[in-house]
């Protein structure tokens, strides 16, 4: 979710495998120059062989600040 409350949708496919997969966001500028930059990340993982049927989705986002935090 963007800082202004709107959402952004990214479509990508990640193969089911033991190693982590990566889905990169567009590299072109998606925020107007006057808007604050923000970042978002999502991780889909299984705890191990016993948890192969259960996946965990962790996600988070944050807006940058003038101090760069």
Supply the range of the domain harboring residue 34. Answer: 1-69
Residues facing residue 43 across a β-bridge: 58
Q: What distance in Å separates the CA atoms of residue 27 and residue 39, rounded to the nearest whole number?
A: 12
Task: Dig out the tokens for 48 from the structure.
Answer: 């191990």
pTM beyond 0.85: the answer is no
Binned at pLDDT 50, 70 and 90, residue 69 comes out as very low
Tell me what pLDDT residue 68 has.
44
Q: What distance in Å separates the CA atoms of residue 57 and residue 12, rounded to the nearest whole number?
A: 15
Considering its fold, how many domains does the chain have in total? 1
Q: What is the pLDDT of residues 29-66, one digit of tens each?
A: 666 665 666 666 777 776 666 666 677 777 776 655 54
DSSP state of 50: G
Model confidence at 14: pLDDT above 50: yes
């Amino acid at each position: 979710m963007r800082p202004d409350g709107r959402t952004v949708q990214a479509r990508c496919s990640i193969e089911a495998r033991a190693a982590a997969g990566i889905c990169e966001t567009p590299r072109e500028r998606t925020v107007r120059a006057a808007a604050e930059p923000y970042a978002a990340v999502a991780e889909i993982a299984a705890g191990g062989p016993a948890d192969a049927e259960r996946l965990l989705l962790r996600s988070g986002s944050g807006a940058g600040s003038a101090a760069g935090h």
